[in-house]
Chain A
Amino acid sequence: MTKLTLGPIAYHWPAEDRRDFYARIADEAPVDEVYLGEVICSKRAPFHEPDLPATIERLQRGGKTVIVSSLAEVMLKRERKATADLAALDAPEIEINNAAGLYARGRRPHRVGPFLNAYNEATIAWMASQGATHVCLPTELPGAAIATAAATARELGLGVEVQVFGRASLAVSARCYHARAHGRTKDNCQFVCEEDADGMPLRTTDDRPILRVNGIQTQSESYVDLLPETRRLIADGVTHLRLMPQAVDMVAVAGTVRDLLDDRLDPAGAEAALRRICDAVPFSNGFYHGQAGYRRIAAAAG
């Protein structure tokens, strides 16, 4: 049975917004698993870590499996400590996004996050031998490679996850580009990233939308939308479909994908519903089709 997951919030949403968001997810969203935790910027973590136990409890009461995700970039002392502390947890499940986390986790069970570059069957086999139980594939992996990777992962008994909705993570850096846009540096950022709940838009100098800035992360302008490819993904062995939280009605997004999975909507109907929820945001599936990531390839061509 294909599982629907909600990835960790990439943005610096205010603590109260997060509480409301997860309360609604717990009560209303037809997702099976929810990833929590700060993955992008260690400076943000103190704002929402105090809420974590209550959020976990709330989501579990709503019937969701909770997984805590680790930082993608680990360099500073506080990042090393946060990663080691997370790796020391017995429950709930954890998702590791940096090799520092793998080191700390040893061979105890863990999930492999999308920042760990599990691009191929050899790497997945290695990771499985080290205790990985589940792997989220890189967002830029094309469909044929997803199928091969998924086949190996399934043989090894691993869950296989692919992001099917939301902005793609395109890059991370040591530098904070939100701070830079406001003439600040990472150390005196004053958390200006909080202003952009769906990332700070960048346009080319001739005004074409191109990228989104989220602190140290650069994201796609488009939302990845693999609803037209969902049946193919499942047939190829993908077990978990990940929705990344965006500043849209995520309960409605989850409901739409769930309706597709349960055959209450056909792909065209689901696509139309998603379009209504996301208004004018461009959708893309180029990575899946081995083309420029921002492109939207017609389903017939897939």
Chain B
Amino acid sequence: MSLAELICPAGTPAALRTAVDAGADAVYCGFQDATNARNFPGLNFTPDEMAAAVAYAHDKGTKVLLALNTYPPAGKVDLWRQAADAGARIGVDAFIVADMGVADYIARTHPDIRLHLSVQAAASSPEAIRYYCDNFGVKRVVLPRILTIPEIREIRREIPCEIETFIFGNHGLMVEGRCSLTNYLTGQSTNMDGVCSPASDVEYARHADGSMSSRLAGFTIDCFGADEKAGYPTICKGRYRAPHRPDGYYAFEEPISLNLSRLLPELIDAGVHAFKIEGRQRSKSYVRGVVSAFRQAVDDIRAGRQANIADLVALTEGQKQTQGAFETKKWR
């Protein structure tokens, strides 16, 4: 059986302490700039905060993984190198990277620190994963959320590194690291700026009939009846019209969360080393609730006990949830 580490989000120093206290095996976090894919206002760490966070986590036996998982545009590479150097000085346990130039720099400059391949690198085959293992010494790959469990099992057999998969949180629809939808509408890039459907471009408009539109940079992404709860305008969760769908439909995916609670035992059996909970933008109470529940479930499964999966399923109760691609390829 795999170790089944629990990798938890830490958007702020307070959330990091919460995740550590709730039983995270590792937390992942980033600096307050474009070097990570959750470059949102009010989130992330200064170097001093990162140092304090690493000290707190290490004191409790928790690892800290530094996300450097965006793609530096030419001319700005130094910002990513400085972030890696700062992380090395502070003593983070691993870097999560996507860009080959960043990976190459870290492999040469900080060879003693583990490299994890971010989901943003979109390595979805044994060959792609081996490319990063052979060339940069990658020790773990975060798999894209597009594979079924039998496919994960097969990849596991063919690669020389550990596997991490998402189990809970936002359900990304597009191949990560290959999506410019936000940049197309807002001028801020997911890959280069770490921004996805930025709050600064969001507005909600109430109409005379009580309905509500959610907009991103002036484009209507969805609309809701007077009695519906308006969701956040993420482009790939929007409602659009197509020639065959004149009334509008969720062209890519409904607003929905990923929840793989029910598949946890199977994923462990498939050889997944680490489970990632998405949500660096989430509150402390969310982090506490989700991390505690998954901690309990993973410990039960490791100890051969029946895990209370119902508690995990209940975490997204009242919201739409999906097992996405993991359960069946019909999702595709």
| Chain A contacts to B: CB under 8 angstroms | 72-75, 79-80, 83-84, 98-100, 102-104, 115, 117, 119-127, 130, 138-142, 144-149, 152, 168-177, 180-182, 185-187, 200-208, 210-211, 213, 218, 220, 286-287, 290-295
Contacts and interface: CB of A to CB of B under 8 A. Distances in A.
Contacts of A203: 240-242
A181 B131 contact: no
B332 A185 contact: yes
Given A103-B128, A103-B134, A168-B180, 17 more contacts: A73-B122, A73-B124, A99-B123, A117-B100, A127-B100, A169-B180, A171-B179, A174-B124, A175-B146, A181-B249, A186-B329, A186-B332, A203-B242, A206-B213, A206-B220, A210-B240, A211-B251
B104 interface: yes
A285 B232 CA distance: 28
A1 to B, nearest CB: 24
Nearest to B98: A117
Contacts of B249: 181
B224 to A, nearest CB: 11
A187 B220 contact: no
B137 interface: no
B75 A145 contact: yes
A203 B180 CA distance: 18
Interface string B240-263: 111111001101110000000000
Given A171-B174, A175-B331, A176-B332, A75 B239 contact: no
Contacts of A103: 127-128, 130-131, 134
A209 to B, nearest CB: 10
A72 B183 CA distance: 20
A208 B184 CA distance: 15
A72 B178 contact: yes
B99 A117 contact: yes
B180 A142 contact: no
Given A140-B189, A145-B75, A187-B330, A100 B184 contact: no
Interface in B163-220: 173-175, 177-181, 183-187, 189, 191-192, 213, 217, 219-220
Interface stretch (B66-74, B275-283, B291-299): B66-74
B128 A204 contact: no
Contacts of B325: 174-175
A74 B330 CA distance: 18
Contacts of A99: 121, 123, 127-128, 131-132
Top 4 A-B pairs ranked by shortest CB distance? A122-B101, A174-B146, A123-B101, A148-B74
Contacts of B244: 181-182
B219 A98 contact: no
B180 A293 contact: yes
Contacts of A102: 131
A255 B151 CA distance: 47
Contacts of B123: 99
Contacts of A146: 74
B136 to A, nearest CB: 9
Contacts of A144: 74-75
Given A177-B252, A187-B329, A207-B241, A104 B127 contact: yes
B105 interface: yes
Interface in B113-155: 121-128, 130-132, 134-135, 144, 146-147, 151
B274 interface: no
B236 interface: yes
A138 B186 CA distance: 17
Nearest to B99: A123
A126 B270 CA distance: 34
A122 B175 contact: no
B169 to A, nearest CB: 18
B127 A83 contact: yes
B229 interface: no
Interface string B312-332: 000000000000010001111
B121 A120 contact: no
Given A119-B73, A181-B245, A170 B179 contact: yes
A80 B173 CA distance: 22
B240 A294 contact: no
Nearest to A185: B330
B125 to A, nearest CB: 5
B332 A174 contact: yes
B223 A205 contact: yes
B146 A205 contact: no
A78 to B, nearest CB: 12
B219 A210 contact: yes
B178 A172 contact: yes
Contact of A119 (B72, B130, B181): B72
A122 B102 contact: yes
Contacts of A138: 180, 191
Contacts of B238: 204
A110 to B, nearest CB: 13
Contacts of A202: 240-242, 251
